[in-house]
Chain A
Amino acid sequence: MEELLKYVIDVGLGEGADYVEARYHKLTESYIAMRFDRVISIGKSVSEGVGIRVLVKGSLGFASTNILTREALEETVKNAVIKARALAKQYKEPIEFANVKVKEVKYEVKPKIKFEDISIEDKIKHYKQLLNNLRSSLKKAKLQTFFIEQVESIERKNLITSEGAKVESIIPRVMVYGGYTIHSPEKGTMQRTFEKGGSGGLELLEKWDLVRNVSEEAKRLEEVLLKGVSPPKGKVDVVVGSEVVGLIVHESCGHPSEADRILGREAAQAGESFIKEDMIGKKIGSEKATVIDDPTIPGSYGYYLYDDEGVKARPKYLYKNGVINEFLHNRWTAKVFGVESNGSARAADYTSEPIIRMSNTYLEPGGLSFEELLEDVKCGVYIKSFMEWNIDDIRWSQRYVGLEAYLIEHGEIKGYVKYPVLEITTESFYSNIEAVDKNLEFHAGTCGKGEPAQGVPVWFGGPNVKLKNIMLGVAPH
């Protein structure tokens, strides 16, 4: 394959491209999908091809094919150059890339338990057990629906650039996505969807212990459904659970810190950013507001060591002690801002151009225990998980509707709250962070961006966070 990629580079340069990048990208996935205790289907997908990016007189071109003959690749790269050249005169500001120290590296994540070491039968048994536990955990409510899907994947990449970068990687991942509805004739329904993901092998299933954790959560959600009351009116302290904090930092720090979004490249899709080009150093929150994006966390769902432009990955402190500190960059935005790329370019598969993405984004934890975090809350609400959420297209006004939520009185959890609504601006959220505990947890998701839309695996996380003086809303009746 390396030889074919080198050939692509040579043809591209020969056609007059100033820069050529060729990425062999193979993604193999296997899934099992179940509804209640029955298998719906199993399956496999293999996507394998080459994505080629060229820069011709400041015009950026991308072409991809899964016909991996010398002739087809030659035609593909030539086509990319021709089309890019044809558009060059329409650029008012030609695209340039920041310089990068090129390397030749290989890295691989080795699973402890390989996918093939556990049979399909045992995987099915695992989820039947999960369902049994879930059913028996409910006392009064009935389980109305249940589905679950497990996906095992291996991503292989081989990147070569005309500047001499050579990066090879192999990353296996596991993801589980499921959902269920519990129903009470008097109180209606409550639904939960959940997702777990990480890089590695099937040892992750043991770590997640879904057989125990899903049923325990369902037991708590039944209490919320049957006994939950509306959140208190007026301003209260709100303890936001790690799952919600993780999503908040992904949406209201990670996304607005993407330099391509700041420069308007995603304006017609995912939108722009409240962060403007000159806002490094501007205060956005309290001292406790430090948000990090770190692709290098071992075992993480958003793990990588070199990005898809061949740049070495590192942790980025996006907000640091309440101040906007660093953007997520690729080589183009790095050139515009006059900085070095911090290795944030990712492509979902061979059909995708590399664009600026998050990896594992989290709020820095503190030193308190959860009990200490609650200790001085006289009247408040603890929002542990969510279902509905959204944020506007500059990442300023956001809404999260609590699912598992509790009333806090005098530092103790006293009862259940149904569907409290945290609807808040980005600045209000980070400015109202009064304390954070030490319980850093990560949650998995698939982040969408770009056109055609690319989904990439990410973690988002954080500790539990206490916000002061928050007005909660209620979901519509």
Chain B
Amino acid sequence: MISKLDESKVLNLAKKVVSEALKQGYDDTAAIVNYKNKVMVKFANSQPSIMQNWNIIGISVYLAKDKRIATLNFEVSNEDEALKYIRNYISEIKLSEPSEYYAPLPQIETKIKRIGEFHESIVKALENTEDFSEEILNTALTYDIDKLAGVFTVAAGLKALATSANVETLETYGNYEFYVRVFKGEGSGQWASAGRILRREDIVEATKIAAEYAIESSRRENVAADVYDVILSPMIVANLMNVVGSMASAFRVDLGLSIFSNNQIGDLVASEKLTLIDDPHNPESYSMTLIDAEGVPTRRNTIVEKGVLKTFLHNSKTARKYGVESTGNAGWINPHPWSLEVEAGGLSLDELVSEVKKGILVTNNWYTRLQNYVEGLFSTVTRDALFLIENGKIVKAVTKLRIADKLPRILRNIEYLGERRYQIRWWEAEIPTITPYMLIRKVHTSKHLL
């Protein structure tokens, strides 16, 4: 387990890297030292399939010389080797060209020396992961299911940042991620839970939701592809908002990898029901963080407010290019969301269902891929339980469909949001997303034609 000794070690190492880089003649430099302990139990066929442990020190370095930019990442056996690469890289960087994204590293007045603590629930789970593993398996066995698969991960670490603009910070982090998939007959259900504070009841609830969806979908019937009103569960909203939230990066906009590439701030880009926020200050968030990679304090950014595009996500480089301030989302090159949130509505799941005349409740998806990022032409495959809704009632479980539509149209057609939010992080939603169920009108679906 990480100790006080490690705390001074990681911060001193970050400072040493910056000092060495400045000695070599780099103009700007920043170093992040990340020391991580992580444990993961993977389940399959209602038993563990492997227990994995990691104990890793990573050193990431940003270097600039005459407006030429370089990033270096090291997971090496000793710091001297990293320092050697940094020393030698000065001759390489000089052969490059000035970057249009170069901006001096921001001078931050407030130095935050020590931030956060691991929550005790994370410390306990790191030490006794096998107890959680047993509890997950025992919970699943209380349901009449065929089998369970999933992953339980718990991590704690220290992240030190030092920059040539006099930033020195040390942040601790600790979090867990749990996702579970349950199978019954022809059906399956999957759910996830993640956060900074591990509560047994959240693990139990995620297992229960997955088991119930599996049982309710154990017999499935075919359904034709059509234009449906669709209720998306937090699992699938998290996946789609990962795509949309990442597209708010000003860098992604520049590369043409964003539906916002042709938008201005203030444009109406979604239904007035959608408010999408990036909030790394939420103390429940899996990726709560107070400082970005350039030392800029992070903040709660509203990306879309009542359907209106309020901001792109910036680091100091894209901010300079766009003539605005950094939003605290560095990434040295690519600004990115930390922790997404969709504002809740006022309806229960039953009430959402009652608003649908002909539609589908989609509980999970995977493989969201785009034909065209600027136009948002995409499809995604539904997986796990899928239910047909007729005249405000769930009628039966049905077989898989694809949602094949345009992201801007999906955003415009959001009509209602659920009242309860869940924090989701899993394979298909790497950015933790706190979101309710969402009802979207007139969604185009497709299915194999032969």
Give the interface of A toward B (CB within 8 A).
32-33, 35, 38-49, 59-68, 72, 75-76, 79-80, 83-84, 86-87, 90-93, 95, 119-121, 124, 144-145, 147, 179-181, 188-191, 263-271, 350-351, 353, 387-393, 397-399, 401, 403, 419, 421, 423-425, 428, 451-453, 470-473, 475-476
| Contact B367–A61 (Cβ < 8 Å) | no
| Of A62, A397, A401, the contact of B51 (CB 8 Å cutoff) | A62
Task: Give the distance to chain A from B431, nearest Cβ to Cβ, in Å.
Answer: 14
| Of A42, A67, A87, A387, the contact of B371 (CB 8 Å cutoff) | A387
| Contact A91–B383 (Cβ < 8 Å) | no
Residues from chain A with a CB closer than 8 A to the CB of B390 are none
Bound form: Cα–Cα A39–B366 in Å = 34
| Contact B147–A47 (Cβ < 8 Å) | no
| Contact A268–B446 (Cβ < 8 Å) | no
Asked, given contacts A62-B51, A121-B95, whether A83 binds B69 with beta carbons under 8 Å apart, the answer is no
| Contact B44–A268 (Cβ < 8 Å) | yes
Q: Contact string, B369-380, partner A, CB cutoff 8 A, digits 1/0?
A: 111111101111
Residue of B nearest to A26 (CB): B76
Residues from chain B with a CB closer than 8 A to the CB of A397 are 381, 400, 402, 447-448
Task: Give the distance to chain A from B20, nearest Cβ to Cβ, in Å.
Answer: 16
| Of B77, B96, B400, the contact of A124 (CB 8 Å cutoff) | B96
| Contact A62–B50 (Cβ < 8 Å) | yes
Asked, given contacts A144-B256, A179-B255, whether A451 binds B42 with beta carbons under 8 Å apart, the answer is yes
Q: Return 22 A-B CB contacts under 8 Å, by A number.
A: A41-B96, A49-B77, A62-B51, A63-B55, A68-B78, A75-B55, A83-B51, A90-B48, A93-B45, A191-B256, A191-B371, A264-B44, A267-B44, A271-B383, A390-B368, A390-B369, A397-B381, A398-B448, A399-B446, A423-B402, A475-B377, A476-B404
Residues from chain A with a CB closer than 8 A to the CB of B100 are 35, 38, 40
Residue of A nearest to B382 (CB): A392
Is B53 at the interface (CB under 8 A from chain A)?
A: yes
Asked, given contacts A268-B150, A389-B369, A451-B40, whether A47 binds B75 with beta carbons under 8 Å apart, the answer is yes
Q: Which of B374-400 contact A (CB under 8 A)?
A: 374-375, 377-381, 383, 400
Residues from chain A with a CB closer than 8 A to the CB of B406 are 476
| Contact A120–B95 (Cβ < 8 Å) | yes
| Contact A38–B97 (Cβ < 8 Å) | yes
Size of chain B's interface in residues, with CB distance under 8 A?
91
Bound form: Cα–Cα A351–B52 in Å = 9
| Contact A423–B447 (Cβ < 8 Å) | yes
Residue of B nearest to A426 (CB): B448
Task: Give the tally of cross-chain contacts (CB within 8 A).
Answer: 278
Asked, given contacts A181-B256, A390-B402, A476-B444, whether A65 binds B56 with beta carbons under 8 Å apart, the answer is yes
Residues from chain B with a CB closer than 8 A to the CB of A47 are 73-76
| Contact A41–B372 (Cβ < 8 Å) | no
Asked, given contacts A66-B57, A393-B383, A475-B377, whether A453 binds B75 with beta carbons under 8 Å apart, the answer is no
| Contact B97–A39 (Cβ < 8 Å) | yes
Residues from chain A with a CB closer than 8 A to the CB of B368 are 390
Asked, given contacts A68-B77, A421-B446, whether A40 binds B99 with beta carbons under 8 Å apart, the answer is yes
Is B405 at the interface (CB under 8 A from chain A)?
A: yes
Is B215 at the interface (CB under 8 A from chain A)?
A: no
| Contact B48–A399 (Cβ < 8 Å) | no
| Contact A399–B402 (Cβ < 8 Å) | yes
Task: Give the distance to chain B from A462, nearest Cβ to Cβ, in Å.
Answer: 20
Task: Give the distance to chain B from A454, nearest Cβ to Cβ, in Å.
Answer: 12
Give the interface of B toward A (CB within 8 A).
39-57, 68-78, 81-82, 85, 89, 92-93, 95-101, 129-130, 133-134, 137, 147, 149-151, 179-181, 183, 190, 254-257, 261, 333, 366-375, 377-381, 383, 400, 402, 404-406, 427, 444, 446-450
Asked, given contacts A63-B52, A179-B256, A428-B450, whether A41 binds B99 with beta carbons under 8 Å apart, the answer is yes
Of A76, A93, A268, A475, most buried by chain B (CB within 10 Å of CB) is A268
Known: A41-B333, A95-B49. 20 other contacts (CB 8 A): A38-B97, A39-B97, A39-B98, A40-B100, A41-B70, A41-B71, A42-B96, A44-B89, A46-B75, A62-B53, A76-B53, A91-B48, A120-B92, A144-B256, A145-B254, A179-B257, A268-B44, A268-B180, A428-B448, A473-B449
Task: Give the distance to chain B from A209, nearest Cβ to Cβ, in Å.
Answer: 24
Bound form: Cα–Cα A42–B91 in Å = 12
Residues from chain A with a CB closer than 8 A to the CB of B57 are 66-67
| Contact A267–B371 (Cβ < 8 Å) | no
Task: Give the distance to chain B from A149, nearest Cβ to Cβ, in Å.
Answer: 11
Residues from chain A with a CB closer than 8 A to the CB of B81 are 46, 48
Residues from chain B with a CB closer than 8 A to the CB of A61 are 50-53
Bound form: Cα–Cα A472–B446 in Å = 12
Bound form: Cα–Cα A113–B325 in Å = 45
Bound form: Cα–Cα A387–B371 in Å = 5
Residues from chain A with a CB closer than 8 A to the CB of B50 are 60-62, 353
| Of B333, B374, B448, the contact of A189 (CB 8 Å cutoff) | B374
| Contact B180–A86 (Cβ < 8 Å) | no
Task: Give the distance to chain B from A277, nearest Cβ to Cβ, in Å.
Answer: 12
Task: Give the distance to chain B from A83, nearest Cβ to Cβ, in Å.
Answer: 5
Bound form: Cα–Cα A302–B375 in Å = 34
| Contact B375–A188 (Cβ < 8 Å) | yes
Residues from chain B with a CB closer than 8 A to the CB of A145 are 254-256, 261
Closest 8 CB pairs of A and B: A145-B256, A390-B367, A267-B149, A68-B77, A388-B371, A45-B73, A268-B149, A41-B69
Residues from chain A with a CB closer than 8 A to the CB of B180 are 268
Residue of B nearest to A428 (CB): B450
Bound form: Cα–Cα A214–B336 in Å = 30
Task: Give the distance to chain A from B33, nearest Cβ to Cβ, in Å.
Answer: 12
Bound form: Cα–Cα A465–B268 in Å = 45
Task: Give the distance to chain B from A293, nearest Cβ to Cβ, in Å.
Answer: 21
Of A66, A353, A424, most buried by chain B (CB within 10 Å of CB) is A66
Task: Give the distance to chain B from A329, nearest Cβ to Cβ, in Å.
Answer: 16
Bound form: Cα–Cα A191–B261 in Å = 13
Residue of B nearest to A267 (CB): B149
Task: Give the distance to chain A from B73, nearest Cβ to Cβ, in Å.
Answer: 4
